[in-house]
Chains A and B, each alone.
Chain A
């Protein structure tokens, strides 16, 4: 515990030191706030503009979470489909890897073309970008389930679905939750990205507009908000992961991304 606290203190000092260094360098070198505003200026902007920013924060969170939820549903169904059959797994795996290595940014223009600008492309981008890590992890978890564990149920005369419920899916949970952590971050990136390109709402759009109006400290304020939201979402899902799959925490970095 003591060791843990010391490490926490150090990482906190590192973050504080980073912002302090930033502030000092800007003053010492006389950097123009049109290039790089000081953290204190950014904080002031954040504080004064917060009432205007708040609806945009909600908008970005909304697109992210809706897209993410859809992505999880699709990802889990596909993953179970692919993972429960050895043949399907070997046949579909190359295609999945191929799809997941396409830069998902490239789909934004297509969604804008189909659905116009606004919330829809943001949600869809958040969705497609998070589907593949989930599919791959669920399918891998199911395919890698120790045959010994399945045999226990088979000798009892369990049906395929009973084996899936009692062994396959629980065994896959660590993979699933590890992939959720990755997926929520990706969804967030996707939503913001789509907002910067084609929307008049959301933090992504705020940053884009501020940038074309040379409101540099507002751009950075948006960046800080994104960073904080990203960390909060990630932390939320790591916490969930630890709660649900505590039995498997001995092998931590389990997700395939």
Chain B
């Protein structure tokens, strides 16, 4: 039995309407993220590298999409497009129905490597978005020592870093930095959360623990989430939809709904259906790697 709800045709890869939404309503609702045949080419002439083939991808508001694929296929490139760190070479990228460059949705991003500012403590690092993003920045001076501090400490407590708030990044292990990284992405209650392999450097137990924390945070606040990962179980446990990309220059070759209700218990990942689902995905990726 194929547990994936919509076996997609690889030739016509992206069916973007969330199946839970009524089609007519979905058409009028503003999409959180829309890549409209967006492609990215680095360099020019002989040196040109196509990092992303024209790609179509839509995220509804409150969607949780996992993006999986072989390394170098353009997953990080998609996140950089959505955050407008790069502009598409062709096509368009819309966030909240408007050009991504406007950045009018509140975004939180956790990069692949935890880019903590080395001269700030963990607390100050995690607090940084509150200093930059409206409306928090307006009251930053007053709330820095009060409400904002409590907010940061609560988050740090949730990921088990309560005692490390005053430490500097170099005093923390890679795994701890990744947790702080996640806190920084979430602290300003973003509408759109972009996560680039955020749990890559963690051991299995910590990882499963953080999956559950992330799931709780997601169900609690319902931001739109785009998660890049190479861990199929992670994708299956957390996401509502899983998009598979082909090898570079990447494009989305499969876009499937995970037919398990949320919240999911961690034991789910050892159930036969779940294992079968990840096996199917694994086979698909193994096929497109070459």
Contact = CB atoms under 8 A, between A and B. Distances in A.
Contact of B103 (A157, A166, A245): A157
Contact of B117 (A149, A154, A156, A157): A149
B83 interface: yes
A167 B117 contact: yes
Nearest to B181: A152
Interface string A163-175: 0001100110100
A247 B168 contact: yes
- Interface size on A, as a range, is 20 to 34
A158 interface: yes
Interface in B92-142: 103, 107-109, 111, 113, 115, 117-119, 128-129, 131-133
Given A162-B132, A166-B128, A166-B131, A155 B119 contact: no
Contact of A158 (B117, B118, B132, B168): B132
A99 B5 CA distance: 69
A154 B85 contact: yes
Interface residues of B, number: 23
Contacts of A173: 119
A33 interface: no
B118 A155 contact: no
A153 B115 contact: no
Nearest to B194: A155
A247 B118 contact: yes
A148 interface: yes
B115 A148 contact: yes
Given A148-B113, A156-B133, A162-B132, A247 B107 contact: no
Nearest to A152: B115
Interface in A117-171: 146, 148-149, 151-158, 162, 166-167, 170-171
A146 B119 CA distance: 14
A70 to B, nearest CB: 28
Main secondary structure of the interface of A (DSSP, over half): helix
A248 interface: yes
Contacts of B84: 154
Contacts of A149: 115, 117
Contact of A156 (B115, B132, B170): B132
Nearest to A167: B117
Interface in A167-194: 167, 170-171, 173
A211 B238 CA distance: 84
B83 A155 contact: yes
B99 to A, nearest CB: 13
B132 A151 contact: no
Contact of B119 (A148, A153, A158, A248): A248
Given A151-B111, A247-B168, A156 B118 contact: no
Contacts of B118: 247-248
A173 B119 CA distance: 10
Interface in A38-65: none
Given A162-B132, A166-B131, A155 B107 contact: yes
B178 to A, nearest CB: 14
Contacts of B188: 156
Interface of B: 83-85, 103, 107-109, 111, 113, 115, 117-119, 128-129, 131-133, 168, 170, 184, 188, 194
Q: Which 3 A-B pairs have the closest CB atoms?
A: A155-B83, A156-B132, A157-B103
Given A154-B85, A245-B119, 16 more contacts: A148-B113, A149-B117, A151-B115, A152-B111, A153-B132, A155-B83, A155-B85, A155-B107, A155-B109, A155-B194, A156-B107, A157-B103, A157-B132, A162-B132, A167-B117, A247-B170
